[in-house]
Amino acid sequence: MMFSWQNGTLWETLEQPARGIELVRNGWGSPAALALHPQDDVPGIWLSNPVTGDLPPMVQRLFIAKGPVKVLMQNGRTVGARYADDDADYVLLMGVAPADLTADRETQATSVFEETARLLEAEGFTFHDVVRTWLYLDKLLEWYDVLNRVRDAFFEAQGVFGGFVPASTGIGCANSLGAAMIAGAIAMRPKTDRITRAMLDSPLQCSALDYRSSFSRAAEIVTPEWRTVFVSGTASIAPGGETVHHDDADKQVALTMDVVKAILETRGMSFTDSVRAIAYIKRPEDRAAWQNWLKANNLPADYAQEVIADVCRDDLLFELELDAIARL
């Protein structure tokens, strides 16, 4: 089973693996794609960024390629889908919002995690089944430390620490609801021992848990035919956890990509195995640094969707998240 993004258009023909999760590039949500799948039957997140020339607000829409899908709702909004294959059941959540949009930021963040757990539990899942999360915070730099405290407390209460800590992205983007935070997640429950999951280390960085940021550097799902790697939001961070190459976008991009490359190589993969990537760029003028790196490394200009957004530290100029798939 799989779902797909590709530059805002739904593929007419999908030459994809029969099992496992496949995330193909996300797009802007072209009229053709959105007409095929209106908002009420496809989970999606609409994210906004500053007005920056040719970069419109980003929409993430996820399309299930085959098989029956159960739509999951939150307060009348489509926020997820449950689907299955021979080896596992999956829940995909996108756009989970706090119960009270007028509450303070800490309360909203707590509510988002609680709402995520509630939606999972309604389908017989728990947070222990989550392998990947996305956390989108409006004005992130003003309260990222609050988010980390909330996440730590939630993970502690759920017993996540000591078990599987999901891969994650935490990024600064506003949203169409005006919420302080919205979230997404992928959860998986194997039916057989033919499918496994694992947290992956980063050879060039310490564990994010070492500095109390509660996510794994990457996560992997292995099916009988395919291996899928979810690389968390990755930035120019040294092995000890400190930011490297202050105010130098070229060097930050290069180090970020070295870190991602090293993670992929531990799984026998390379950048050409990527099926979905998002490049978060703090300053519009630093798009050139990213594009120059792509050109120097013989990768296409549209290798990743570009989004102007704040990264989790004010001195971080660039972040990349990436999903890759390889046949066993």
CA 32/CA 7 separation, integer angstroms: 11
pLDDT recorded at residue 47:
63
Burial 27-36 (b: 16+ CB within 10 A, else e): bbbeeebbee
- Of 217, 242, 240, 214, the residue nearest 147 (C-alpha): 214
Domains of the chain and any CATH numbers: 3-327 (3.30.1330.40)
Structure tokens at 155: 């993970």
pLDDT recorded at residue 23:
31
- Please give the model's pTM, rounded to 2 decimal places: 0.87
pLDDT recorded at residue 190:
94
Total length of the chain: 328
pLDDT recorded at residue 60:
59
Per-residue confidence in pLDDT tens, the chain, 328 aa:
333 333 332 222 233 332 223 333 333 333 333 334 444 555 556 666 544 444 455 555 555 555 677 888 999 888 888 888 888 899 989 889 999 999 999 999 999 999 999 999 999 999 999 999 999 999 999 999 999 999 999 999 999 998 999 999 999 988 878 899 999 999 999 999 999 999 999 999 988 777 666 899 999 999 888 889 999 999 999 998 899 999 999 999 999 999 999 999 999 999 999 888 899 999 999 999 999 999 999 999 989 888 889 999 999 999 999 999 888 8
- Of 81, 57, 65, 78, the residue nearest 21 (C-alpha): 65
Structure tokens at 228: 């899928």
Structure tokens at 112: 């988002």
Give the helix/strand (H/E) hosting 263.
Answer: helix 249-266
CA 61/CA 289 separation, integer angstroms: 28
Instruction: Give the phi and the psi of residue 48 in degrees, each rounded to 5.
Output: -115, 155
Given a contact cutoff of 8 angstroms between Cβ atoms, the answer to whether 98 and 107 are in contact is yes
- Of 186, 190, 131, the residue nearest 163 (C-alpha): 131
CA 310/CA 94 separation, integer angstroms: 20
pLDDT recorded at residue 175:
81
Given a contact cutoff of 8 angstroms between Cβ atoms, the answer to whether 135 and 183 are in contact is yes
pLDDT recorded at residue 232:
97
CA 60/CA 253 separation, integer angstroms: 23
Given a contact cutoff of 8 angstroms between Cβ atoms, the answer to whether 151 and 194 are in contact is no
Instruction: Give the phi and the psi of residue 171 in degrees, each rounded to 5.
Output: -140, 160
